[in-house]
Structure 1
């Protein structure tokens, strides 16, 4: 697997996935191109041993799995999330201020706000339409920069570099157009224009929408020797990509499953989040179709399985090395990072960490460990949620990155291939104890 080819595919995925809904659509397209059959939650499932299938929920979450020949006894599960911190448009977003039409926004997740200023911003998301008496979702994307959040000049705020805070309500409305050119613009006419520009459809009846701003700057490999790459939404589309690559690369000898939940950045409490029933529902149906069947069979399936939760880790920052524990500063291009927290903010145990270390050693992948400083708070992932909801032994790993939750994040160019190799070996592992 050539590192450059992996980066090229990753960049294609990042460019076409400005929202969770776009990410799921891209993953579904890739799965179908590789022989996976789509299932629908509202239909009966006819699942065969040796088959490859996927299912989505609420357009923003996806589960894909490939089954071994014979009875399903265990699964190698990989988890990630499709959402990233973002500025979402309010339901009535249009704001008229002086000579300009602006977009009122709501902060989704724990975003770093300052990097959003002075960026070329597009609009993307999903719209609910009525067509022929039916309500249907439609993905929209301006595919060009249409808005900007301009900074205030240093001459008018001499304290701007002295720890200035940002007020999301009063200081982050994005400039969309001049009032002179859009005097009668409404949110309905704006969305209709977006649909017409993208699809050539001029008579769509818009019922509702979920739209947000995103950075139009393309992913790029950087560094004198291309050691790094930068993009929006690396947290956590990078993990979605690596897990999907591993599922596709695996030889199919073992049962393997990828779950990509939505809403991790806001607590995972939704039907398509890790606190929801999506994964449990799919596992129950798998057990009835190709497993032992019954409640005891479902429990045995889960207890024989393992989960690797993939979410990026904080790489050692050369300008802020004191923010890391001295013995646990993961390096970019240093391989996957095992994430540990004594208070179970990560789900890693010595048993699951040992399994992953053994897998990495078997395929010559370097591995690192991260634990946060004892005097700092620790974030979390879908790992502890999935472990507690299902009762499955779980490990938290990730690729080291800088600037987590910024509009543009940075990671090491060698690390995606490392993680894919390790996850592929996990999907092919015959023994999970």
Structure 2
């Protein structure tokens, strides 16, 4: 596989994954096609060597080598499937001044202005009264219209959006009573609207991923934070060796953008539950599990920041990673990233084995540092953890930017990690 082939697959993966639920199911589809077995949490597990399980918008997959030891360590690639945007409210159909609008609530921390004047879709899951789930996506359906400059002469000096008043998308004209967003979603999903008891529906930009720039090496798309890491981990796991002395795991959690404190988030029990059942299948004792975790590693992969040419002063003056110069090793003195000296040494070994360059990342002292699933997973499991990711511009925008070489290099590094470097 070369960079072009990898990026083609990545673009298709993004297009198939407008919501965390779609992302989890697209990962599952590719795993299933590669011979992995889907397991269900409410059923007994006669654990096969290559398997996966979905919990809501999260998915965990693993390869357990034949005749592996009861103290075999795990090598976990941690990532997340969700991205900032707008989530459908209980009163989904609203309107004003003859316009039909969609009732939405801000999800996570999106760059609000980047969502203006874009053809957006709704995507996610509908849950019926019988508990069955149905994935749904609308395609281009709505748009958050910006106020014309003629009506706000100061807009280019200071644009401030009220999250309640200024972010409701339009999707038509008419009377609210004559239209129903939820009914439209039900029709697309092929279910009766009266049977829809709940839904988790998020917004997504419908513009296709696009290469551009010098030699077409720049790449723009939505949700690269953090589908870039999910896809890199998926490709690496599909190519992981089965004869290793460790268990290779891909953990793609949901709800990272809102704190991860859910049953499918990194603060929840999902990964611990799966690892417990894997080790139970191996016949491991409690002591042997502790010994296994003590030898294990988690690479927490989440997108980071490239130095921005128009805002260089917002970055650390000495550490300025550039898109196209390799994935990031993310470091924070206050452990907002879980990287420590041992984690840095692991990442050096992994990158050397993969034959790629990497870059350090640290925030400007005057800028608050975001966090990842890394510290959460380390705290939850006691597993050694290092934080990495590809550099982006416009993080949390409806459409982010990366360099193609960084995206491909990340999966090569994760492959080396799964190979035991």
TM superposition score category, shorter chain reference: over 0.9
Residue 66 of structure 1 is matched in structure 2 by 63
Which residues in structure 2 correspond to 1:287-302 (within 5 Å)?
287-290=279-282, 293-302=284-293
**Structure 2 counterparts to residues 277-426 of structure 1, below 5 A:** 277-290=269-282, 293-426=284-417
1:190: how far off? 2.8
User: In structure 1, which of residues 235, 240, 244 is the aligned counterpart of residue 230 of structure 2?
Assistant: 240
Q: Secondary structure at the match of 1:256?
A: strand
Give a deviation string over 1:359-393, Cα, whole Å, max 9, x none.
21122100110000112110000000000110010
Instruction: Give the stretch that moved more between structures: 20-29 or 87-96.
Output: 87-96
Cα distance in 2 for residues equivalent to 1:87 and 1:427: 35
How many Å apart are 1:305 and its aligned residue? Answer: 0.7
Displacement of 1:205: 2.1
Q: Equivalent residue of 1:225, what SS? A: helix
Residue of structure 1 equivalent to 2:168: 173
Partners of 2:106 and 2:381 in 1: how far apart? 31
1:56 matched to 2:57? The reply is no
Q: C-alpha deviations, 1:281-303, integer Å up to 9, x for none? A: 11111111125x22211111111
Of residues 150, 157, 161, the one that matches 1:162 is 157
Q: Secondary structure at the match of 1:8?
A: helix
Question: Paired residue for 1:195?
Answer: 189
Q: Is the 8 A contact 2:138 2:185 kept in 1?
A: no
- Classify the secondary structure of the residue corresponding to 2:65: coil
Pairing of 1:127-142 with structure 2 (within 5 A) = 127-130=126-129, 134-142=130-138
- Hey, which bits of structure 1, 4+ residues long, moved more than 3 A? 201-204
Task: Look up the match of 1:24.
Answer: 24
Shift of 1:358: 1.5
Q: CA deviation at 1:156?
A: 0.7
Kindly tell me the number of residue pairs found equivalent between the two proteins. 417
How far apart in 2 are the matches of 1:337 and 1:192? Answer: 42
For the residues of structure 1 that align with 2:147 and 2:419, how far apart are their CA atoms? 54
Deviations 1:39-79 (A, max 9, x none): 1111111124xx10101112x01100001121341111100
Q: Distance in 2 between matches of 1:215 and 1:53?
A: 32
**Deviation by residue 1:115-166 (Cα, 9 ceiling, x = unmatched):** 1110011111110124xxx3200000112x1111110011110111122211
SS across alignment from 2:178: coil
Q: CA RMSD in A?
A: 1.4
TM-score by length of 2: 0.96
After the TM superposition, which of the residue ranges 276-285 and 18-27 deviates more from structure 2? 276-285
String of CA shifts for 1:153-197, please: whole Å, max 9, x gaps: 1111011112221101001111011116x752234433333334x
**Match 2:255 to one of 257, 263, 280:** 263
Answer whether contact 1:316 1:331 (CA < 8 A) is retained. Answer: yes
Q: What SS does the corresponding residue of 1:338 show, helix, strand or coil?
A: strand
Q: Tell me, yes or no, if the aligned pair for 1:283 and 1:298 is still in contact at 8 Å.
A: no
Written as runs of structure 1 = structure 2, the 5 A alignment for 1:90-109 is: 90-109=89-108
Instruction: Check the 8 A contact 1:13/1:26 in 2, yes or no.
Output: yes
Residue equivalent to 1:274: 266
- Contact kept in structure 2, 1:252 and 1:428, CA below 8 Å: no
Task: Look up the SS of the partner of 2:216 in the other structure.
Answer: coil
User: Paired residue for 1:150?
Assistant: 145
Moved more, 25-34 or 90-99: 90-99
The match for 2:418 is 427
In the alignment, the residues of structure 1 paired with residue 117 and residue 62 of structure 2 have an alpha-carbon distance, to the nearest angstrom, of 42
